[in-house]
Structure 1
Amino acid sequence: MGCPRHSSLGAGANPRASERIINEVAQGFRAPDGAVDWFTSLERAEQKEALREVVHYSMQARASAHDARDGLLRSGVKPTMTPAVLIVRKPVLEQMGKIINLPHSAVADTRRRERECQGTCRHAWHALP
Structure 2
Amino acid sequence: MERYEVTINRIAQGEIPIEEGIEWFKALPEEEQHKALRGMNLCIHQSHPRELEIEEGIKLSGLKETYTPCVIMRKNTFNSARAKVLALPSHEWLKAFRLWLAIFTIADSRRRSTDCQAGCDHWWHNLEML
Corresponding position of 1:48: 34
For the pair 1:60 / 2:37, whether they are aligned, the reply is: no
Q: State the identity as a percent.
A: 29
Corresponding position of 1:92: 78
Between Structure 1 and Structure 2, the one with more helix by share is 2
Are 2:54 and 2:73, in contact at CA under 8 Å, matched by a contact in 1? yes
Per the normalisation by structure 2, the TM-score is 0.61
Corresponding position of 1:19: 5
- Further displaced range: 60-69 or 74-83: 60-69
SS in 1 for 2:75: coil
Call closer, same or farther: CA 1:90–1:28 in 2, change over 3 Å. farther
Give me the CA root mean square deviation.
2.0
Runs of 4 or more, structure 1, over 3 Å off, are 28-31
The structure with higher relative contact order (CA 8 Å, sep 6+) is: 2
For the pair 1:102 / 2:118, whether they are aligned, the reply is: no
Q: Which runs of 5+ in 1 are unaligned?
A: 1-5, 8-15, 107-129
Per the normalisation by structure 1, the TM-score is 0.61
Provide the C-alpha distance between the structure 1 equivalents of 2:18 and 2:73, rounded to a whole number of angstroms.
17
Q: Which runs of 5+ in 2 are unaligned?
A: 93-130
* Structure with bigger gyration radius: 1
Provide the C-alpha distance between the structure 2 equivalents of 1:32 and 1:78, rounded to a whole number of angstroms.
18
